[in-house]
Structure 1
Amino acid sequence: MSPPQGFSYEQRADGTVVITHRGRAAGTLRGGRAEKFLAEVGSGDAQLVMARWTGAYRFGNERMARNHPRNRSGRR
């Protein structure tokens, strides 16, 4: 799986953080959540942090997980 790409964020004057993915809004954070996000994005891989905060980190591996024997539960 390739690392996430195409994320960016904008911190507005009122403290709101808007996370975008390829130019489209993917999430808006306010208050304490915005502060936690800003602290985390400064200390790690920014693309991965933004993907995790928006929930986009899952995409790409669902098919592999569905086909795993543990997750089949009688399906063929």
Structure 2
Amino acid sequence: MSNIDKRNRLDEKPFSYQITKDDTVFILFHGKRVKTLKGKEAEKFLERIEEAADKKEEQLVIAKITGNFKRGNERRK
């Protein structure tokens, strides 16, 4: 894991998620919605989150789901 997050950006916990009543999952980056998951994709995501060993691993799972947050040029706000 240390090789994946070399600059320790995930320690800041920039990602979060919200689950709605109809099991839709919203992925948030610094409080802004960046992705919406529904159906099987949302179920698979929630399973991976439950299997995460710690908060940093949860952040990594969410970052990988978004797909485009690995270049280091993401804006803070």
Same fold, judged at TM 0.5 (above): yes
Q: Which residue matches 1:50?
A: 62
Give % identity. Answer: 38
For this pair of structures, how many residues does the alignment match? 61
SS at match of 2:40: helix
- Where structure 1 has 5 or more consecutive residues not aligned to the other structure, the ranges are 61-76
Cα root mean square deviation, aligned: 1.7
Give TM-score, length-normalised by structure 2. 0.70
**Alpha-carbon offset, residue 37 of structure 1:** 0.1
- Where structure 2 has 5 or more consecutive residues not aligned to the other structure, the ranges are 1-6, 73-77
Q: Deviations over 1:7-30 (max 9, x none)?
A: 110110011000101010011000
Give TM-score, length-normalised by structure 1. 0.71
**Alpha-carbon offset, residue 3 of structure 1:** 4.1
Q: Which residue matches 1:64?
A: none
Write the distance in 2 (CA, Å) between the matches of 1:59 and 1:29.
22
More helix, by proportion: 1
1:40 aligns with 2:48: yes
Larger radius of gyration: 1
Write the distance in 1 (CA, Å) between the matches of 2:68 and 2:34.
9
SS at match of 1:13: coil
